[in-house]
Amino acid sequence: MRFDAIVIGGGQAGCEATARLLDASLKVCLISAGLTMEDENTDPWRENRAMAQRGATVLRGDRAVSAVLEAGKVLSVRTVNLDDEPLEAALFILATGKYFSRGLLSDMEHIYEPVFGADVDYIPGRSHWYDQDFSAPQPFLSFGVKTDERGRVLIGGKSIGNLYATGDILARDAAEADWAQIMNDYAGK
Amino acid sequence: MKEFDVIVVGGGITGAATARDCAMRGLSTLLIERSDICDGASGRNHGLLHSGARYAVTDKEGAEECIRENRILRRIASNCVEPTGGLFITLPGDSLEYQENFVRCCRDAGIDAVPISPKEALRLEPAVNPELIGAVKVPDASVDPFRLTDANIIDAMQHGATILKFHTVTGFVRNNGRVCGVRVTKPGVIRSQEIRARMVVLAAGIWTAGLIREAGINIGMLPSKGALVIFGHRVAGMVINRCRKPSNADILVPGDVVSVLGTTSDKVPFEGIDDMRATPEEVDLLLREGVSLVPALSHTRIIRAYAGVRPLVMADSDGDGRSVSRGIVVLDHEQRDGVPGLITITGGKLTTCRLMAEMVTDAVCAKLGVKAVCETALRPLPGSGKAHKDDEEVPYFKRAAIGRHGTEVSRMDFDLGHEIICECEQVTRAEIKYAVKTLGVRNISDLRRHTRIGMGTCQGSFCIKKVAAVLAEELGEPLREKEFIDEYLQERWKGITPVFWGDSLREAEYMQRTHKDEI
C-alpha cells in the first residue's frame, strides 16, 4: 500500500504531524499503538479519530516493527497486523515517544530504537541512566534519537533523506526539523 | 521513667522475640528501637522459613535448630507462614553424589528430605529448569518477616512490655562498672534521657558493633551484604534451591504475590550499613544465576532490588576474622569482659528468632534469679489460628486483611473502613486505622511494612496520593501529605534504579511524568 507520508506514533506529536501533512493535502497513514501517557488535556484516541475523519488512514492498535531502507532513504515499513503488506511512502515521520510508549527499548546495557535502528544519544551502561535522587533531573529522560542539523534521523551516523523525528523520541540536544523545511524537502523528493 | 527489669535494644525480629519472651516470663520489659520496627535486616531478607536443609551438609547443629524452629513457627504463627514446601534441584554440571550426601545429612539432622524424580519435580513445580537431573523435596516454607515481628511486638505489649520507637540508644548508664541502663535521644531533642534497668540486652544486629563500643567492649563483627531481587509474579509455588554448596543467587522464595531471588554475600565496610542499596552489578549476577534455577525469570517483570546486612560474628579466639559464625551467639559481658548488666544476642537467622530469644532470656533470668520457664513455643502469637469459621462467608474487603493479620482482624473496624485504599494489596481504611492505632505507624514507610500498602503490582503508581491523604488524615496530621508522597517515591526509586531497564525503565518514565511537575 502506498501513501505520500507515514507517521509512526499516534500520540500528541504524531497527531500534530499528521494534521500538518493533511493540511498540505497529502495522503497520510498514521500508525498508532495507543501507548500514550494521557493527561487531562489530551485524549489520543479522540485525536486519532479526528485524523481519520479528516481522511488519514489510521491503523489503531498497530505498531511498526521493521523498515526497508535503500540508498539512504526509507522505502517502506511493516506493522504487526499487516505483516505481509509493506507500507510505502515518500516521507516518514518518527513520533513513537520514549520508553513508556516503546519508542525506545532497552536491555541491561543498551537503549535502542526498534523500528529503524536509528542512532540513539545515550551513555551505555545503565548505572549512568539515573540520578539516585528521584526529584533530581534524570539523564534517561534526555536520551533519544539523534538527528542532523536539518532534523533528519541519523542511522549509523548517516542522515536518512526522508525520515524525520518529532516529539519525545528526540534526544534533548537533537535538532527538530521545521515544517517548511520538511515540505520543501518533500516537494523536491 | 521507672526502672525496668530488662531493656532490649533493637526492634528487629530478634529484639521483638526477646521482648516477648522476657515479658511472658513476668519481667518488666522495655524495647527501644531507633527507627521503626523491622527497618533493618529483619525487613530486608528472603522471607524464607528454612527447613535447615541448606545447612545440613556444612552445619548440622544449625540445621537441627532450623527444623525444630520451622515446626514451632508453623504452629504458633500460622498467619505469618505459608507452607509452600521446598525443592533442592540438581542441574547438569552439579554432582548427584552431592545430592546423595545432602539427603543423608538432612536425615541425620531430622529433616524430612525426599528424593524425587525430575519428572515428579516438574509436575510439582513446573517453573523449575526442565533440564534438572535430580530433585529433593524438603519442608521449606515462606514466612513474612514484617508480620512475624509485628506479632511478637503485639504479644510483648499484651504481656506488659513497653515499646519505644524512634529513640536512639547513645550510651550506657554505668555504676561501678556495671551497666544499669541506657541513655537515649529522640529526634528534635538534644538532651539525652536516662532509662534504668537491671539488665540490658543488645539485639541490634550489625548495629550492635557500634553500640557495644560505648561500653568499652569490642566484638569482632563484620557486615555482610546480601542483595535480592523481587519479581512481580509468583513465578513458582514452592521455594526452589540449588542442590550444591551454598552460593550466590541459589534460592527463589515465593511470598504473597511476588517471588524473591537471592542472595549475594559480600563483606562491606561499616560506613554504608545505614543505606544499603543493591547495585546493578549485583542484580546482573543474581539474574545470571537465577535464570538457571528458573528460566522464566529472564522475562518476568522485576519490581525492585534491595539489600540487607547480616552480622557476621568472629570467633573470639580468631584474630584475622576468617572463621565467622552464622550460628547463634549469646555473649555474657560480665563473664567475657567484666561488664555486668549487659548481654548481647546476635548471629542466628530469621527462622531461629524464637530460639535466640529463649537463649538470651534464659541468660537474663539466670542473672536476675528468675525461675520462670520459656513458654514461647507453646503459646500462639497474636493473629495465629483460624480467623473465621469454615462455613462463614467472608466479605471481599476482609479477605486480604485476614491473610495478613489472621485473627487480629477482629480488632479492625470495617463498618466505617471497608473502602479499599490500595487496590493491588487490597488494603482498606480499617487496616490503616489499625496500623496507626495498634502498630504505632507514624509514616508511609512504616505503613508499607506493616500492611503491604504500595508493595503490589502498581508499586504505588496509582494509589500513593490517596494513601498519603488517608494516612495524614488518620494520624491527624494533614500537613504531612506531601512529605509522605515524597518519602514513598524516593524509596520506590531506590528499589527501581538497580533494575533500570526494560519495563522498569518504562515504569520509571511513568513515575517521573506522573509525579513530577517538571522533568
Q: What is the pLDDT of residue B99?
A: 97
Going by pLDDT thresholds of 50, 70 and 90, the confidence category of residue A189 is low
| Average per-residue pLDDT for chain B | 93
Contact by Cβ (8 Å): B279, B498:
yes
- A108–B501: do the CB atoms touch at under 8 Å? yes
Distance of CA A172 to the CA centre of its chain: 15
Residue B319 pLDDT greater than 90, yes or no: no
Q: What is the mean pLDDT of residues B93-115?
A: 96
Task: State which residue of chain A sits closest to B287, comparing Cα positions.
Answer: A108
The structure's pTM equals: 0.90
Q: CA quadruple B41, B43, B47, B52: dihedral positive or negative? A: positive
* B321 SS3 class: coil
d(CA A178, CA A181): 5
- A126–B513: do the CB atoms touch at under 8 Å? no
pLDDT digits (tens, 9 = 90+) for A72-129: 999 999 999 998 999 999 999 999 999 999 999 999 999 999 999 999 999 999 999 9
The verdict on whether omega for the bond into residue A166 sits within 30 degrees of 0, i.e. cis, is no
Number of helices (H) and strands (E) in chain B: give both, helices first: 17, 23
Q: For B487-513, give one letter per residue: b (16+ CB within 10 A) or e.
A: bbbebbbbbbbbbbbbbbbbbbbebbe
**Chain A partners of B497 at a C-beta cutoff of 8 Å?**
130, 132
To the nearest whole Å, the CA of B276 is away from the closest chain A CA by 13
**Chain A partners of B306 at a C-beta cutoff of 8 Å?**
none
Contact by Cβ (8 Å): B91, B237:
no
**Chain B partners of A127 at a C-beta cutoff of 8 Å?**
279-280
Q: What is the mean pLDDT of residues B390-411?
A: 90
Q: What is the mean pLDDT of residues A173-186?
A: 89
Q: What is the mean pLDDT of residues B119-135?
A: 97
Q: What is the pLDDT of residue B245?
A: 87
Residue B324 pLDDT greater than 60, yes or no: no
- Domain map of chain B by residue range? 4-41+146-220+321-368, 80-141+222-306, 396-515
* Long-range contacts from B502-508, C-beta under 8 angstroms, 24+ separation: B502/A105, B502/A106, B502/A107, B502/B302, B503/B301, B503/B302, B504/B301, B504/B302, B505/A99, B505/A106, B505/A129, B505/A140, B506/A99, B506/A100, B506/A102, B507/B459, B507/B461, B508/A99, B508/A130, B508/A138, B508/A140
Contact by Cβ (8 Å): A15, A47:
yes
To the nearest whole Å, the CA of B10 is away from the closest chain A CA by 29
Which amino acid makes up residue B325?
S
- Domain map of chain A by residue range? 5-188
Point out the least confidently predicted range of B286-300, B344-358, B446-460: B446-460
Task: Answer yes or no: CATH 3.50.50.60 is held by domain A5-188.
Answer: yes
Nearest to B497 among A99, A132, A141 (CB): A132
- A99–B509: do the CB atoms touch at under 8 Å? yes
Task: State which residue of chain A sits closest to B512, comparing Cα positions.
Answer: A134
* Residue B481 grid coordinates: 501529605
Q: What is the pLDDT of residue A140?
A: 97
- A99–B497: do the CB atoms touch at under 8 Å? no
Q: How many CB pairs under 8 A join A and B?
A: 61
Q: What is the mean pLDDT of residues B247-269?
A: 91
d(CA B219, CA A178): 70
Q: What is the pLDDT of residue B321?
A: 44
Q: Tell which residue, B107, B90, B85, has the closest CA to residue B244.
A: B90
Tell me the CATH number of domain B4-41+146-220+321-368, given options 3.20.20.140, 3.30.70.20, 3.40.50.300, 3.50.50.60: 3.50.50.60
Share of chain B above pLDDT 70, in %: 97
Point out the least confidently predicted range of A5-9, B38-42, B356-360, B388-392: B388-392
* Residue B419 grid coordinates: 473502602
pLDDT digits (tens, 9 = 90+) for A17-65: 999 999 999 999 999 998 887 666 667 788 899 999 999 999 999 999 9
Q: What is the mean pLDDT of residues B26-39?
A: 96
Q: What count of other Cβ atoms lies within 10 Å of the Cβ of residue B177?
A: 13
**Chain B partners of A99 at a C-beta cutoff of 8 Å?**
505-506, 508-509
Query: Beta strand pairing status for A120-121 and B420-422?
Result: unpaired
Residue B322 pLDDT greater than 70, yes or no: no
* DSSP assignment of B80-147: TEE---EEEEE-BTB-HHHHHHHHHHHHHTT---EEE-HHHHHHH-TTS-TT--EEEEE--EEE-HHH
**Chain A partners of B487 at a C-beta cutoff of 8 Å?**
none
Contact by Cβ (8 Å): B141, B86:
yes
Domain range B80-141+222-306, CATH architecture: 2-Layer Sandwich (3.30)
Q: Mutating which of B275, B282, B462, B509 best tests the A interface, going by the most A Cβ atoms within 10 A?
A: B509
Task: State which residue of chain A sits closest to B490, comparing Cα positions.
Answer: A134
Which amino acid makes up residue B9?
V
Q: Tell which residue, A49, A41, A40, has the closest CA to residue A10.
A: A49
Residue A8 pLDDT greater than 60, yes or no: yes
**Chain B partners of A98 at a C-beta cutoff of 8 Å?**
509
To the nearest whole Å, the CA of A160 is away from the closest chain B CA by 27
